[in-house]
């Protein structure tokens, strides 16, 4: 049949015009046999689905560009501050030195991966070390109870609260409770948005991607890993997981809705 080819993939622009001209002519529709009418109907459905998918991808692209612009501004600010600090240190180098036994940040900022899902730093371990140990020992309930108690406190800094929520999300994911974990990750991203902390926002997107990967929502996982791509300390892990998500997404059948991002997905949760 003439319109059979419309069911095999995207409809060429020239054929779309002919198809819509035909649809606007009621008499022509009546004259078509039932099989051809069904083919036209399926062609219209294919067009609608293609349009909806493009709208979703365009919306996500806009959100991603907005986030990347914000990150670029933050990196520029960090560069300016770093150059100012370097100039100050060069000035200090000319001053007489005194004995100093202070423990500087760099002396405690070593990092470790825990169970392949959590990047812990020296600063984190001061607050969260005993909880990380419970998690490593697979005492999940005790670790979660400790985090719940910690998060009830009012004296946590914004960074401490974000890291605590991300650790809780990582533990919940270990318990295969990724949907519940996503709630804490999105709350952490909200804090990062109100008090810009782009390094932690990237870390949060990484954990968010791991949750979507466990839920087999591969398109969403891939986009989360994309947003986290340049997060310090995560680059190698992100590349592995993003490739995994993309490979699994492309292996899905073309009719599987998980090949594209859900309309409910927000790149940057409010």
Cβ pair 163, 200 in contact under 8 A: yes
Q: What's residue 28's pLDDT?
A: 57
Q: Which of 251, 229, 249, 232 is nearest to 240 (CA)?
A: 229
Query: pLDDT band at 7, cuts 50/70/90?
Result: very low
pLDDT of 230 over the 80 cut: yes
pLDDT digit string (tens) for 17-71?
665 665 566 555 556 566 676 777 787 877 877 787 777 777 666 666 656 655 5
| Token code pair at residue 195 | 């008090």
Q: What is the DSSP annotation of 14-83?
A: HHHHHHHHHHT-HHHHHHS-HHHHHHHHHHHHHHHHHHHHHHHHHHHHHHHHHHHHHHHHHHHHHHHHHH
> pLDDT digit string (tens) for 84-121?
455 445 544 444 444 433 333 333 446 788 888 888 88
Joined tokens for residue 138: 């697979």
Q: Is the pTM of this model over 0.85?
A: no
Q: With pLDDT > 70 as the criterion, what percentage of the chain qualifies? A: 67
Q: Distance between CA atoms of 232 and 192, rounded to whole angstroms?
A: 16
The mean pLDDT value for 153-180 works out to 95
């Amino acid at each position: 049949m003439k319109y059979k080819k419309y069911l095999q993939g995207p409809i060429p622009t020239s054929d779309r015009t002919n198809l819509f001209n035909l649809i606007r002519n009621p008499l022509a529709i009546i004259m078509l046999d039932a099989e051809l009418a069904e083919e036209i109907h399926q062609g219209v459905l294919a067009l609608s689905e293609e349009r909806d998918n493009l709208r979703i991808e365009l919306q996500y692209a806009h959100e991603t560009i907005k986030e990347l612009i914000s990150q670029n501004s933050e990196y520029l600010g960090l560069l300016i501050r770093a150059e100012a600090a370097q100039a100050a240190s060069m000035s200090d180098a000319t001053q007489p030195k005194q004995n100093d036994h202070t423990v500087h940040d760099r002396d405690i900022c070593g990092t470790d991966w825990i169970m392949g899902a959590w990047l812990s730093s020296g600063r984190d371990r001061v607050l969260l070390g005993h909880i990380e140990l419970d998690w490593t020992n697979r005492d999940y309930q005790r670790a979660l109870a400790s985090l719940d108690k910690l998060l009830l406190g009012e004296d946590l800094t914004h960074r401490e609260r974000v890291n605590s929520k991300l650790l809780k999300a990582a533990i919940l994911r270990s318990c295969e409770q990724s949907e519940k974990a996503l709630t804490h990750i999105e709350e952490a991203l909200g804090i990062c948005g109100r008090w810009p902390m782009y390094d932690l926002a990237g870390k949060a997107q990484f954990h968010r991607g791991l949750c979507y990967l466990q839920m087999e929502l591969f398109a969403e996982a891939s986009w989360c890993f994309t947003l986290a791509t340049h997060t310090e300390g995560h680059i190698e892990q992100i590349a592995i997981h993003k490739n995994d998500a993309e490979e699994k997404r492309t292996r899905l059948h073309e009719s599987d809705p998980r090949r594209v991002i859900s309309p409910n997905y927000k790149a940057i949760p409010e």
